């Protein structure tokens, strides 16, 4: 009998740790599954997803650059996906329709609060970036009790649009990227830009990091290296990459598909050695 079929879609995707993570989760419960990485260029994504689910695929994770398209493709959407306007999980329902979820924000907050024992309440936060990654986490940061949130993006219009979508002008503000050296310091800085993934440097002023700042990059491994090096040089108290977030978001997807919650810590620790 053919194992249950799952996949992760992205472009590029060869570097993805998702197959390794889901196989490790499956071993915890004695579940047999096949989980593969599927590289689909943007023009090919919709057709590739439809083909995968037509050929008995049960669930798929979705990463850059397809999260907004995955959201649009779905027939049913979770509240988190609706708020973000993007999806990182697609699940085939019993009637063949597709349901979209976004577990990015919940995974990031769980990584910070449970794995790293950080209390996010009362923090003055700076969010770098206003694209899909930022949309995926911003509401969860606010739900976790962040006091104020300043959004800075190279396109000011995108930052303003995200702030307007949040609709909390007393807590959420936007500033211009060129003003970074003049906007003071923050005790939580989240890098949601794609700079590291693209191999670019952010060139951030050290004045952004407060004396006890926590800096968090949504990327992991080499992609997060530049931002984490900046954070340490700036004197940040903590500097974390998004590996734990990746494992936590995978656990949410696994629970959606299998109805069982995996133990994430041993999987995280085994991957930490690699990254």
pLDDT of residue 132: 86
Whether residue 65 has a cis bond before it, omega within 30° of 0: yes
Q: Could you tell me the residue ranges of all domains in the chain?
A: 4-102+247-274, 105-241
pLDDT of residue 258: 97
Q: Do domains 4-102+247-274 and 105-241 have the same CATH topology?
A: yes
Given a cut of 80, is residue 199 above it in pLDDT? no
Q: Which of 11-15, 60-64, 107-111 has the highest mean pLDDT?
A: 107-111
183 contacts 158 by C-beta, under 8 angstroms: no
pLDDT of residue 48: 98
pLDDT of residue 190: 98
Band (pLDDT 50/70/90 cuts) for residue 24 is very high
Given a cut of 80, is residue 1 above it in pLDDT? no
Say how far residue 5 (Cα) sits from the centre of its chain.
23
β-partners of residue 53 are none
pTM comes to 0.94
Q: Which helix (H) or strand (E) covers residue 60, if one does?
A: strand 57-62
Catalytic residue among 2, 67, 232, 260: 67
- The CATH superfamily label for domain 105-241 reads NAD(P)-binding Rossmann-like Domain (3.40.50.720)
Pairing of strands 33-39, 209-217: unpaired
Tell whether the torsion through CA atoms of 28, 99, 38 and 268 is positive or negative: negative
Average pLDDT over residues 8-14: 93
pLDDT in tens, 88-128: 999 999 999 999 999 999 999 999 999 999 999 999 999 99
pLDDT of residue 113: 97
CB count within 10 Å of CB 263 equals: 11
Token look-up 């919940």 returns: 106
- Cα distances from 113 to residues 245, 248, 269, in angstroms, run 11, 12, 17
Band (pLDDT 50/70/90 cuts) for residue 274 is confident
Given a cut of 90, is residue 34 above it in pLDDT? yes
pLDDT in tens, 172-197: 999 999 999 999 999 999 999 988 87
Domain 4-102+247-274: top CATH class: alpha beta
Report how far residue 178's alpha carbon sits from residue 200's, in angstroms, rounded to the nearest whole number.
Answer: 17
pLDDT of residue 252: 98
pLDDT in tens, 204-227: 999 999 989 999 999 998 999 999
Average pLDDT over residues 241-270: 98
Among this protein's residues, is 67 annotated catalytic? yes
């Amino acid at each position: 009998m053919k194992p249950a079929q799952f996949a992760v879609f992205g472009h590029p995707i060869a570097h993805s740790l998702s197959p390794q993570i889901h196989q490790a989760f499956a071993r915890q419960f004695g579940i047999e599954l096949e989980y593969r990485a599927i590289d689909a260029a943007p023009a090919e994504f919709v057709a590739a997803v439809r083909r995968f689910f037509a050929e008995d695929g049960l669930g798929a994770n979705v990463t850059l650059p397809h999260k907004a398209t995955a959201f649009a493709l779905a027939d049913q959407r979770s509240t988190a996906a609706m708020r973000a306007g993007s999806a990182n999980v697609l699940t085939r329902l019993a009637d063949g329709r597709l349901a979209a979820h976004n577990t990015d924000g919940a995974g990031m907050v769980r990584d910070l609060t449970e794995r790293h024992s950080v209390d996010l309440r009362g923090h003055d936060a700076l969010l770098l970036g206003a694209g899909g990654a930022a949309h995926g986490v911003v509401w969860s940061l606010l739900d976790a009790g962040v006091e104020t949130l300043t959004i800075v993006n190279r396109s000011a219009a995108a930052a303003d649009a995200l702030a307007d979508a949040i609709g909390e002008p007393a807590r959420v503000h936007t500033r211009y990227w060129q003003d970074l050296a003049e906007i003071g310091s923050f005790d939580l800085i989240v890098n949601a830009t794609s700079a590291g993934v693209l191999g670019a440097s952010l060139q951030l002023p050290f004045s952004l990091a407060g004396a006890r700042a926590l800096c968090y990059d949504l990327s992991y491994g080499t992609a997060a290296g530049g931002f984490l090096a900046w954070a340490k040089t700036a004197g940040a108290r903590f500097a974390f990459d998004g590996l734990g977030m990746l494992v936590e978001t995978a656990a949410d997807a696994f629970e959606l598909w299998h109805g069982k919650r995996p133990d994430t810590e041993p999987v995280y620790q085994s991957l930490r050695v690699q990254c």
